[in-house]
Amino acid sequence: MSSAPLVQRSALQWARAELFSGPGNTLLTLLIAAALAWVVPKLVGWALLHAVFRSDALACRAAEHAGACWGVIAEKLRAILFGRYPFDQQWRPLAGLLLLLALAGTSALPRWWGRWLLPGWLLALVAFVLLMHGGVLGLAVVPSSRWGGLPLTLLLSLVSLALAFPLGVLLALARRSPWPVLRSLAATYIEIVRGVPMISVLFMASFMLPLLLPSGWQLDVLLRVLVGITLFTAAYLAEVVRGGLQAVPAGQWLAARALGLEPWQVQYFIVLPQALRAVVPALMNSFIGTFKDTSLVVIVSLYELTGALTLALGGDPTWRPFYLEGYLFVAAIYWLLCFGMSRYSRWIEARLTARP
Amino acid sequence: MTPDAAGGGTPPPARRIPWAAWAFQAGLLLVLLGLGAWLLSSTLDHLRERGVRAGFDFLKDPAGFEIGESWIHYESSQPFWRAFLAGLANTVRVAVPGIALTTLLGTLLGLGRLSRNLLLRAIATAYVELIRNVPLLVQLFMWYFALTELLPASGEALKLGPGLFLSKSGMSFPWPLWEAGHFWPSAIEWPEAGELNVSGGASVTPEFLAVLLGLVTYTAAFVAETVRAGIQSVSQGQWHAALSVGLTPRQTLRFIVLPQALRVIVPSITNQYLNLTKNSSLAVAVGYPELVSVANTAINQTGRAFECIAVIMSVYLALSLLTSALMNRYNKRVALRGGA
């Protein structure tokens, strides 16, 4: 087990403690260093030195996979980022994307937290959907079947999380309610949803909802999938929130009741704020999970980031051999966003615990 | 924790539930039942319009589609239930070795993250952070593409070791031969590389391999975090105390730390096993014919979405409930007894 250093160490002492503290440790260090010395140059050679950066299919073929073909991304960038959205209208998803990212950036900083957050986000989402769909301000209508790429990924995750969060809180409260019928309904729902794979829920949204709803009520496939992801995510969030509720000592409830607060006031002002604060990291993990899970909608033919890539490269024999580079690019986008979120959650958690 | 905190933030149970609460719950139940009935009636209307019959009787009809690979004997003239069974067998075939390999890799990575050696720690951490933050589906697609497009053709299969060949058409490995009526295998069949392909031994398809590798590498990152958190949950004082009464580090790990760490690790690792099994449903995207993939084909062929989805959901649900029942028994056994 590593223990915290008690005194300032010199670089040499540090290396000795970390890398060469005994014969076993030294051997391990040498083995790993040898493996790295073998792998890293190959990787650098493939990814950088022998790579083709121009959008030149002939040069890429000539490299014969000895070097990466990053040209495929230069060639297909817009198709990967925006899917089948009409080419000359792609400034609209781009503007929407920038709007959402800018808003996410500003609302991440605690100094700008305030009452504007909720209406701000609602307004931005409405503006985003109007921008994508068109039909106002002289924008041509683009049906949701043509939406795709990164904007669709963000839309699916943001909207489903925004709807699933309050639903999850309600489910968690219901599951801990003293009323037996309510409690068992919530528990049944949560356990069923958590027991099945997300694909089966997406299949339901895609194949079964059209059968379930009467003819006059038919929903567009994007909305159906949104309903599916929301209902699925809510069950997971409910369990996270329940964990937080359990962490709030019973004395809080009793004290608040003794002060004369009504039960709903106790939940809203006393219990929930403490419960949610306690589970910030777990909530963030769920958010990241949902963000990654939106990639599954490609299976029911919605072309978000992952799907847009398969559309862009799958049907093009010239660039198809360089799928791997395309996947790496998409993986890098997901990684940046997910890793960013998890780092942010640690930072926020530290802030919240520093100032209870 | 003080004794009165044991119940968590539970509102203390009211002595009697007021009649208004009962009325509310009855109303809620009625609304839900009404909603269910309304959806059911509109579903039946739709099915009548489309001329689709409802019910599970189709399970006895011949399926009429082939399954790429199957553990149990199956051909297209056999009924649907048999196709579903073959799909389920394929799910098990990828989940069981997947769980075993994930446990191994995840434990090694988890221990690596706690290693004294800086390089090992850095590599394990980089692995976990890299893998956890990319969707499993993207990783599956990558594995599948690499295994089917970037590997050499079957005639020039890569030799990974004695009797171990890897090519575009899958992996071949040695397999014992049994004679009828014997308990021990009589011989081991070794695969041989020929001019055009690799023959003999046992082999797995690239689809299977892609799903297995994708699931194992992905889930191992989560298992590693579980293992690390479990070991770290045992306080340093336990280590110091055990070492000071004269136990060796190995004994301390075996008799003091591990039993306590397992209490934390086992429930959450079981969750990861369930996740792996549920995630095997993503195999539909690379064409490995497990349960969900078979059900997808059946839906496209018969239009009986409701029934096929019900089959998938009930199988997975049964699996989850079984696992959580076992887990509860385990938790009861290992939980701390006596005063809290």
- pLDDT tens sequence across A3-45: 555 566 777 888 777 788 778 888 888 899 999 999 998 889 8
B11 touches chain A (CB under 8 A): yes
Amino acid B98: pLDDT: 93
Where does the pLDDT of residue B149 fall: very low under 50, low under 70, confident under 90, or very high at 90 and above? Answer: confident
Q: In chain A, which among 110-169 make CB contacts under 8 A with chain B?
A: none
A249 touches chain B (CB under 8 A): yes
Residue A166 in this model has a pLDDT that exceeds 90: yes
| Average pLDDT value for chain A | 86
Residue B137 in this model has a pLDDT that exceeds 60: yes
Cα separation values, A74 from A57, A134, A329, B307, Å: 11, 28, 11, 46
- A339 → closest Cβ in B13, B117, B133: B133
Provide the residue count of chain A: 356
Residue A85 in this model has a pLDDT that exceeds 80: yes
Cα separation values, A285 from A112, A289, A297, Å: 23, 6, 20
Q: In chain A, which among 75-94 make CB contacts under 8 A with chain B?
A: none
| Between A141 and B317, residue with greater pLDDT | B317
Give the span between the Cα atoms of A159 and A175, in whole angstroms: 24
Closest by CA position to B214, among listed A140, A327, A54, A92: A327
- pLDDT tens sequence across B251-264: 888 888 888 888 88
Beta strand B192-193 with B187-189: parallel, antiparallel or unpaired?
unpaired
What stretches of chain A show up as alpha helix (H) in DSSP? 11-19, 23-44, 57-63, 71-82, 91-107, 117-133, 149-175, 180-195, 198-203, 209-212, 221-247, 250-258, 263-265, 272-278, 280-293, 305-314, 323-354
Burial of B210 (0-12, 13-18, 19+ CB in 10 A): buried
Amino acid A1: pLDDT: 45
Residues paired with residue B158 on neighbouring β-strands, in sequence order? B166
Number of neighbouring beta carbons within 10 Å of residue A64: 9
Q: Are B312 and B291 within 8 A, CB to CB? A: yes
Domain ranges of chain A: 18-49, 142-354
Give the span between the Cα atoms of A231 and A165, in whole angstroms: 10
Give the span between the Cα atoms of B117 and A114, in whole angstroms: 46
Give the span between the Cα atoms of B261 and B174, in whole angstroms: 38
| Average pLDDT value for chain B | 84
Beta strand B192-193 with B198-199: parallel, antiparallel or unpaired?
antiparallel
Residues A134-158, mean pLDDT to the nearest whole number: 86
Which of B38, B47, B132, B134 would you mutate first to test chain A, the one with the most A CBs within 10 A? B134
- Per-position b or e across B211-245, b if 16+ CB within 10 A of its CB: bbbbbbbbbbbbbbbbbbebbeebeeeebeebeee
Closest by CA position to A299, among listed A217, A195, A231, A228: A228
Cβ distance of A185 and B129 shorter than 8 Å: no
| Between B180 and A146, residue with greater pLDDT | A146
Residues A239-265, mean pLDDT to the nearest whole number: 89
Identify the helix (H) or strand (E) that includes residue B226.
helix B206-233
Give the span between the Cα atoms of B212 and A202, in whole angstroms: 23
Output the six-digit token pair for A104.
């996410």
Amino acid B7: pLDDT: 46
| Between B188 and B313, residue with greater pLDDT | B313
Residues A134-151, mean pLDDT to the nearest whole number: 84
Residues paired with residue B62 on neighbouring β-strands, in sequence order? B79
Residues A101-118, mean pLDDT to the nearest whole number: 83
B182 CA: distance to closest CA in chain A (Å): 41
Amino acid B336: pLDDT: 60
pTM of the model: 0.88
Give the span between the Cα atoms of A93 and A147, in whole angstroms: 9
Amino acid A192: pLDDT: 92
A306 touches chain B (CB under 8 A): yes
Amino acid A327: pLDDT: 92
Residues B114-122, mean pLDDT to the nearest whole number: 88
φ, ψ at A120 (rounded to 5°): -60, -50
Cβ distance of A213 and B42 shorter than 8 Å: yes
φ, ψ at B166 (rounded to 5°): -130, 130
Cβ distance of A200 and B119 shorter than 8 Å: no
- pLDDT tens sequence across B187-228: 788 887 777 777 777 888 899 999 999 999 999 999 999 999
Where does the pLDDT of residue B339 fall: very low under 50, low under 70, confident under 90, or very high at 90 and above? Answer: very low
Q: How far is CA A313 from the centre of its chain?
A: 24
Within 8 A by CB and 6+ apart from A146, the residues are: A83, A84, A85, A86
Give the span between the Cα atoms of B13 and B16, in whole angstroms: 8
A49 touches chain B (CB under 8 A): no
Give the span between the Cα atoms of A107 and A77, in whole angstroms: 28
Which segments of chain B are extended strands (E)?
158-161, 164-167, 170-173, 175-177, 187-189, 192-193, 198-199, 202-204
End-to-end CA distance of chain B: 9
Cβ distance of A1 and B236 shorter than 8 Å: yes
Residue B2 in this model has a pLDDT that exceeds 50: no
Residue B10 in this model has a pLDDT that exceeds 80: no
Place domain A142-354 in its CATH homologous superfamily: MetI-like (1.10.3720.10)
- pLDDT tens sequence across A257-298: 999 898 889 989 999 988 988 888 889 999 999 999 999 998
> B80-113 and B118-132 are packed helices; what angle lies between their axes, rounded to 10 degrees?
150
Rounded to two decimals, the ipTM of the complex is 0.89
Where does the pLDDT of residue A131 fall: very low under 50, low under 70, confident under 90, or very high at 90 and above? Answer: confident
CATH number assigned to the domain covering B80-135+206-334: 1.10.3720.10
B313 CA: distance to closest CA in chain A (Å): 6
Q: Are B168 and B203 within 8 A, CB to CB? A: no
Amino acid B13: pLDDT: 57
Cβ distance of A324 and B42 shorter than 8 Å: no
Give the span between the Cα atoms of B105 and B217, in whole angstroms: 8
Residues B64-91, mean pLDDT to the nearest whole number: 84
Q: How many Cβ contacts (< 8 angstroms) between chains A and B?
A: 197
Output the six-digit token pair for A338.
């997910």
Give the span between the Cα atoms of B318 and B320, in whole angstroms: 6
Give the span between the Cα atoms of B222 and B227, in whole angstroms: 9
Q: Residues of chain B with pLDDT > 90: what percent?
A: 32
Within 8 A by CB and 6+ apart from B339, the residues are: none
Per DSSP, the three-state class of B198 is strand
Residue A253 in this model has a pLDDT that exceeds 80: yes
- Nearest chain B alpha carbon to A299: B285
Which DSSP string do the residues of A80-94 spell out, in sequence order?
A: HHHTTS-GGGTHHHH
Residues B266-276, mean pLDDT to the nearest whole number: 89
Taking phi over 0 as left and psi of -120 to 50 as alpha, with beta for the rest, B234 belongs to: beta
